Amino acid sequence: MSLKGLLSSRSVGASRNATSAAAPRMAPSVAAASAMSDGERLAMLDQLEQSGLGWFWASDASGNLTYLSGAIAARLDVPLADLIGQPLTTIFAAADREERGKSLALMLGAHKAFSGMALRAARRPEGTVLRLSGQPMSDAQGNFIGFRGTGTDITEEYHREEETARLARYDSLTGLSNRHRMSHHIETTLTAFKAARRNCAVMMLDLDRFKHVNDTLGHAAGDELLKQVAARLTRAIDREAEIGRLGGDEFQVMLPDIDDRGVLGDLAMKIITMLRQPYSLEDGRCVIGASVGIAIAPHDGVNREDIVRAADLALYAAKNGGRGQYRFFSGELENETIFRRRLEQDLGTALREEQLFLRYEPIVEAGAGTVSSLEAHVCWNHATRGIIDEEEFAQIIEGSAMLADVGRWAIAATCEQASEWPETVRVAVNVPVPLFLADDFVEFVAGALGKGGLTPYRLELEISEAVFFGDASTVDRTLAQLFKLGVRLTLDEFGSGYSSLAYLRRAPFDAIKIDQKLVAEAERHDSRELGLVRAIVALAGALQMDTTANGIESASLLASLTECGVCYLEGPIFCEPIDAAMVLSEMAGGTWKIDPAAQRTRRARRRTVFRKIQVIHDDYSYEVTLRNLSRTGALIEGLADVPKGTQFVVDLGGGQLSVATVIRSNGAVQGLEFEQSLIEDGAGGLCTRNRVSPYALAEAGTPLAPLASGKFLGLDQGGAIPKFGYATTAASDLG
């Protein structure tokens, strides 16, 4: 159909007889317009089409295109001849990719008028966007004969609106979902999953040391860093997930259909490992870290508010535990914070009443195998909890106001005890940052050496790179005074994130201690990480410094580190930390040599727990005291004469049930071995891989709700008869 035909049809209101006697008199201007010839009108409309201000189209009763302004075809980048005669529904497609708008096929089929429909060329989905309007037409007999309509190019306007809508849902810096979208997505997902009885995990992530990057390199570098973090986070999560940036350096991840804490822990560790790798920015190079909190619906919360709050609490616990960790939510986290505060308050008593003591871990000279020094670790013999080992104590003291006081005690005690060792053996002590920055630190060290009778060169002070964030003049002055005093200085945890050649140039260090996490990565992925170890060894050699690597458990890692040229080696493959009396015994001959043993690995570390739990046997639930806990077993106290081989279901609280067998029994104390090992919670704690499902409880008639933090086995024991009695006195600890 031509434009002339289009004009003469009823679509644009064909001319009536303007000179009819019945027609009313018109104003002169209107009369002049109506007197315009069809040719003139056609030329005017043709000019209108060419200008882009107005375009026209028409279809027959079957929905096939019969007319289209040539300008539209040009904008769509499709030859006009290829369009005429084709169904409109094959020519145009919805511009909205989610097709949430009106359907062109539906409107054409219903013979309904429409306007403002955004469409694209089906052949060019990324091209021009048109807004079409259409009016159904009928002949004199009232029969439908097709559509007539207009079109407008709205490409720029559409993209502006699309960008505005995108910015309302996505973070403009990283392209990840923003807080609003994450909140809506989590809420709708949990609502749907609640009806379908499905699980969903939420991770909260916070970057460690990000503020330092902003402060030192500037906000532009901080923005670039956030973009790189977002890219790494997307690569790290290789499963269905929704990832968002909530603002600042806080991120959130939603992971549907997962409640296995083993899998989630592995994923969290993968994220932490990837995010702490070095970043190259235009304004410099930096290393940051990340902490992760994890909560799982419906175990830890049923709605969005509860599950996000649970993940936030877990993140807070991970950051308090030393950062660079992940932590699962537990209903006891709030109580744990209170308990930890009480332990910190007890530290003053521990110092006054000499409850602290030292264990020493041998550091072996590579090649010779002789013990050249021992690293001191602080432990605590708590009045009610019993022995708190070096790892747990380090978590308690982290960030405590007593940190410097404990550091002073440790230096004084090591100087006194090491003075009894052979002159060839040194003692290494970790120096807390607050203590190093104290005005009287050097004076105190000199006094401790003199009082203990220890030669200065035998005292090795392990200093964290974090001290360099203090006042530069204070740090440099303290290091120079320590060097003049004659003590040995070691840069601790090199490669942990702060590492800079500037520190090594300005400080008189004798040795570099390679970060234990880097050593652990070298064992798992022995190419790139071992290359970094070799580079550190070469750097240390060029600066005439020794190198130490710790945490070595396997013979293969030992061989690799030795081949890299590491000077000193430390780890369970040689010896676990031992008390001072055993050190004296081993050194009685003057030289202590340790041969590495492949079968000598770090035993499953026991956590001193000392809390009430429930165990069940033959449908009867008993309350016992949990003395300590490891990945593979536990020590309980309170039942009398339980024979070896007895099986219990151990309720660790919050739906955590584990089948265990009694493997040792001595009066009121039993040693248990778990059928399935516990897993790390990422921050020094232990938990079961799975928990009882709240959906299973709901099927049994219990209202759907998060798992309680306390005991879980609420048995109606009825006629159940207890097989074991409660002990009246405690037996000796099985150790």
CB 443 within 8 A of CB 485: no
**Assigned token pair, 612:** 């009430």
**Predicted confidence band at 4 (pLDDT cuts at 50, 70, 90)?**
low
Whether the model clears a pTM of 0.75, i.e. scores above it, the answer is: no
Assess whether pLDDT exceeds 80 at residue 340. no
Report, as an integer, the average pLDDT of 194-216: 89
Assess whether pLDDT exceeds 80 at residue 104. yes
Helix 333-352 crosses helix 304-320 at what angle (to 10 degrees)? 20
Assess whether pLDDT exceeds 90 at residue 59. yes
**Predicted confidence band at 217 (pLDDT cuts at 50, 70, 90)?**
confident
CATH 3.30.70.270 domain locations along the chain: 170-331
Query: What is the number of other CB atoms lying within 10 angstroms of the CB of residue 53?
Result: 9
pLDDT value of residue 696? 84
396-399's contacts with Cβ under 8 Å and 24+ in sequence apart are 396/340, 396/343, 396/344, 396/347, 397/344, 397/347, 398/320, 398/321, 398/322, 399/320
- For 582-635, the pLDDT digits (tens) are 999 998 878 899 988 865 555 545 555 667 899 999 889 999 999 888 889 999
pLDDT value of residue 636? 94
Torsion of CA 415, 416, 418, 419, to 10 degrees: 100
CATH 3.30.450.20 domain locations along the chain: 3-162
349-586 is a CATH 3.20.20.450 domain? yes
Q: How far is CA 137 from the centre of its chain?
A: 61
Kindly report the three-state secondary structure assignment for every residue of 631-675: CCEEEEECECCCCCCCEEEEECCCCCEEEEEEEEEECCEEEEEEC
pLDDT value of residue 20? 37
- For 114-160, the pLDDT digits (tens) are 988 888 877 776 778 888 899 999 998 999 999 999 888 888 888 78
Higher pLDDT, 602 or 199: 199
**Assigned token pair, 422:** 């052979």
Assess whether pLDDT exceeds 90 at residue 266. yes
Q: Find the range with the poorest average confidence among 121-130, 206-215, 423-432.
A: 121-130
**Predicted confidence band at 404 (pLDDT cuts at 50, 70, 90)?**
very high
pLDDT value of residue 126? 73
pLDDT value of residue 29? 47
**Assigned token pair, 441:** 């630190």
**In this structure, CATH architecture of domain 170-331:** 2-Layer Sandwich (3.30)
C-alpha to C-alpha distance for 161 and 172, rounded to whole angstroms? 15
CA atoms within 13 A on the CB side of 99: 8
**Predicted confidence band at 734 (pLDDT cuts at 50, 70, 90)?**
very low
pLDDT value of residue 2? 58
- For 511-561, the pLDDT digits (tens) are 999 888 778 777 765 567 788 888 889 988 988 999 999 988 888 889 889
Assess whether pLDDT exceeds 50 at residue 672. yes
- For 472-521, the pLDDT digits (tens) are 788 889 999 999 999 999 999 887 655 567 677 778 899 999 888 778 77
What does pLDDT average to over the chain?
A: 84
User: Which positions ≥6 away from 167 have C-beta within 8 Å?
Assistant: none
C-alpha to C-alpha distance for 594 and 573, rounded to whole angstroms? 10
pLDDT value of residue 301? 92
Helix 304-320 crosses helix 179-196 at what angle (to 10 degrees)? 120
pLDDT value of residue 639? 94
Round the CA-based radius of gyration of the chain to a whole number and report it: 38
Q: Find the range with the poorest average confidence among 362-366, 451-455, 686-690.
A: 686-690
607-699 is a CATH 3.40.640.10 domain? no
pLDDT value of residue 684? 66
Query: What is the number of other CB atoms lying within 10 angstroms of the CB of residue 379?
Result: 20
Report, as an integer, the average pLDDT of 375-397: 85
CATH 2.40.10.220 domain locations along the chain: 607-699
Assess whether pLDDT exceeds 50 at residue 13. no
CATH 3.20.20.450 domain locations along the chain: 349-586
Query: What is the number of other CB atoms lying within 10 angstroms of the CB of residue 193?
Result: 17
pLDDT value of residue 705? 83
The β-bridge partners of 379 are 357
The owner of tokens 């809420």 is 187
- For 690-726, the pLDDT digits (tens) are 999 899 888 877 788 888 766 666 556 666 788 888 8
C-alpha to C-alpha distance for 652 and 332, rounded to whole angstroms? 11
Backbone angles phi, psi at 262, to 5 degrees: -65, -45
- For 301-323, the pLDDT digits (tens) are 999 999 999 999 899 888 876 67
The owner of tokens 């778990």 is 674
What is 3-162's CATH number, 3.40.50.261, 3.30.450.20, 3.40.630.30, 3.40.50.720? 3.30.450.20
Assess whether pLDDT exceeds 80 at residue 60. yes
Closest CA to 431 of 496, 471, 482: 482
Assess whether pLDDT exceeds 90 at residue 685. no
How many residues make up the chain in this entry?
735
**Predicted confidence band at 16 (pLDDT cuts at 50, 70, 90)?**
very low
pLDDT value of residue 633? 93
Report, as an integer, the average pLDDT of 173-182: 92
**Predicted confidence band at 27 (pLDDT cuts at 50, 70, 90)?**
very low
